[in-house]
Amino acid sequence: MKIDKNFFTGKIFKPTQKQLHISDRNECAKGYLEERRYLEESGFEGFVTIEALMHNINIVPACRGVYVVMRNSGVAPEFFKVGTGGFFKGKNPNVSIDILKSNWVDDTSVLYIGKAGGTESSATLRKRLEQYMRFGNGEAIGHWGGRYIWQLADANELVVCWKEILDEEPLNVESSMINKFKEKHGLKRPFANLRD
């Protein structure tokens, strides 16, 4: 296993096998390895679990870019009626299990595509993912997009990867990725993406 020195803190972070969520188990999600390979070839890195990010967000670079949340399990998803997402501005982040089921996309491991930074935002990948993790821990944080993730029973085991975007607008890259996903999956967006 490769151990990378954390550039931002100088600390060595050695994720466990579970945190990396690299598995050759039979229940590996259909397409996970292929989709991961494609993302790696496209410049994405990280591929750590939400649990790992909640323990050390400093492994994420402080720059603008896009990120993807993936599920590496071939087992049917289990949805919670009440998830762990925070009530931002008093709004309930939970939706009915019927809505979650209707948004679920089979035959893919990609659940959410997000962005950080750009001409209209100074947010970095690290800051945006930190907000997302805090929202998932029940804090009233402004990360409403992707909230369906937090009604999944295995949310902490989901895998997150990211890519720095230096020469393009992250919003445009995110939109392009969502549109490519829709072309491949019968015009359905990733499970937790609520808009294009």
Tens digits of per-residue pLDDT, 165-176? Answer: 999 999 999 999
Q: What is the pLDDT confidence band of residue 121, given thresholds at 50, 70 and 90?
A: confident
Residue 49, H or E segment? strand 45-49
What does the block give as tokens for 143? 């990360």
What does the block give as tokens for 192? 């937790």
Where is average pLDDT lowest: 26-35, 65-74, 78-87?
A: 26-35
Phi, psi for 159 (deg, rounded to 5): -105, 135
- Relative to beta strand 45-49, strand 110-116 is unpaired
DSSP 78: -
Give the separation between CA 105 and CA 103, rounded to whole angstroms: 6
Residue 99 has pLDDT above 70, yes or no: yes
Q: 6-57 pLDDT, tens per residue? A: 322 334 344 444 444 444 444 456 688 899 999 999 999 999 999 999 999 9
Give the separation between CA 193 and CA 148, rounded to whole angstroms: 8
Chain centroid offset of residue 158 CA: 7
Per-residue pLDDT at 82: 96
Give the separation between CA 133 and CA 141, rounded to whole angstroms: 9
Chain centroid offset of residue 143 CA: 12
Per-residue pLDDT at 130: 95
Neighbours of 136 (CB within 10 A): 25
Q: What is the pLDDT confidence band of residue 183, given thresholds at 50, 70 and 90?
A: very high
Give the separation between CA 48 and CA 133, rounded to whole angstroms: 13
Return all residues near 24 (Cβ < 8 A) that are at least 6 apart. Answer: none
Residue 3 has pLDDT above 70, yes or no: no
Selection from 135, 120, 109 nearest residue 169 by Cα: 120
pTM (2 decimals)?
0.84
Per-residue pLDDT at 30: 60
Average pLDDT over residues 189-196: 92
* Candidate ranges 29-38, 139-148, 155-164; pick with highest mean pLDDT: 155-164
Per-residue pLDDT at 119: 87
Per-residue pLDDT at 28: 56
Q: Hey, where are the domains in the chain? A: 17-184
Per-residue pLDDT at 158: 97
